[in-house]
Amino acid sequence: MTFWVLLTVNSVTFGGLLFLLSAGFSLIFGLMRIPNLTHGSMFMGGAYLGATLLAGELGFQLNFWLAAVAAALAVAALSALMERFLLRRLVGQQMAQVLVTLGVSLMVADLCLMIWGGDPISVANPAGLGGFVRIGAAALPLYRMAVIAIAGVFAVALWLMLERTRLGAMIRAGVDDPDMARVVGIRVSRLFTIVFALGAGLAAFAGMIGGPILSVYPGLDQDMLPLALVVVILGGTGSLLGSFVGSIIIGFIYNFGQALLPELAYFVLFLPMVLVLVLRPQGLFGGQIL
């Protein structure tokens, strides 16, 4: 019984991390119409930067949460530069843009290997969240509960941002019909930069708060990018609800797969994607942004 409860908690936690990762991926896809293949690198880069800030290797030490926010801001800024100076040059050529994000992801992976070496870096739980909460017979790790709560808060915040703010309305307009949005005076190209940076920051933040669970290692980007892809194919591109539901589903399949069929976990993970592709190519919630 305890085993199943723990497995469920782990699944929801992982789903929460996946949501933070794939919400940005999905929004970028919805607006710019490209799969951002650097998204895994942003996740990994955030984790490495955060771990470095946490360890105080730059001469000053930040606590866990500040390190996560600082890493997210740094990655968001770098990504905004990449969007502005690299992807913007290739506007309208989506294939070329995808290939550029692929090239940059290879560069980032190698750069991280150069800077941080090949050994995994473990990230300690933040202060005060190292313990457990007892619910019945099961002892649930406090930190994982915190991650679930954070993902929930972000889901609501993103929803409110898209639904209730001016920026959100502009993003929705851009996703729906970029040409018409331009006609009514929305600077869609500036939205590109904002959404790209926002998605990057979310991914980097997820990388850091995923640190105590996944640790940081070379190849983390290649582990996470396909998961974001699967979530988005499953949930439908450009849909916040889709990436939420998709993340939870994939979180469950991934964790249960690893516990029950460790050798084929990766394979089992892709079965729902294949099913969706065959039965409902636009994804479960394709075409609806919220």
Partner 1 sequence: MSGRTVAVVVAVLALVAVPYATTEIYYVNIASQILLYAVFALGLGVLVGYAGLVSLGHAGLFGVASYAVAYLLAAGHGHAVAILAGLAIALVVTAGFAALSLRATGISFIMITLALGEIIWGLAYRWISVTNGDNGINVATRPAPFGISLGSARGFYDATLIVFLLAVAAVAIFVRSPFGAALCGTRDQPRRMTALGYHVWMIRFWAFMFSGLLTSVAGILFVYYNQFISPQAVALAASAEGLLMVISGGAGTLLGPIVGAALVVIIKNVASAYVERWNFLLGAIFVAIVVFMPEGLVPGAVRLARTAWRAVGRAKLAAPASLAGPKP
- What is the closest distance, in whole angstroms, from the C-beta atom of residue 226 to partner 1 in the complex? 4
Where in 203-242 is the site for partner 1 (CB under 8 A)? 222, 225-226, 229-230, 233
**Interface map 76-115 toward partner 1 (x if CB under 8 A):** ----------x--xx--xxxx-xxx-xxxxxxxxxx-xx-
Coil, helix or strand for 118?
Answer: coil
Burial class (CB in 10 A: 0-12, 13-18, 19+), 151: buried
Rounded CA-CA distance 26/30 in Å is 6
Q: Is 117 in the site for partner 1 (CB under 8 A)?
A: no
Q: Is 35 in the site for partner 1 (CB under 8 A)?
A: yes
Rounded CA-CA distance 97/101 in Å is 6
Q: Is 73 in the site for partner 1 (CB under 8 A)?
A: no
- What is the closest distance, in whole angstroms, from the C-beta atom of residue 215 to partner 1 in the complex? 17
Q: Is 154 in the site for partner 1 (CB under 8 A)?
A: no
Pick the closer one to partner 1 by CB: 67 or 87. Answer: 87
Where in 247-266 is the site for partner 1 (CB under 8 A)? 262-266
Pick the closer one to partner 1 by CB: 86 or 139. Answer: 86
Q: What is the dihedral of CA 261, 263, 264, 267, to 10 degrees?
A: 140
User: CB–CB of 71/208 below 8 Å?
Assistant: yes
Q: What's the DSSP call for residue 155?
A: H
- Please report, as a single letter, which amino acid is at residue 64: F
Q: What's the DSSP call for residue 90?
A: G
Interacting residues toward partner 1 by CB under 8 A: 33-35, 37, 86, 89-90, 93-96, 98-100, 102-111, 113-114, 222, 225-226, 229-230, 233, 262-267, 269-270, 273-274, 277-278, 281
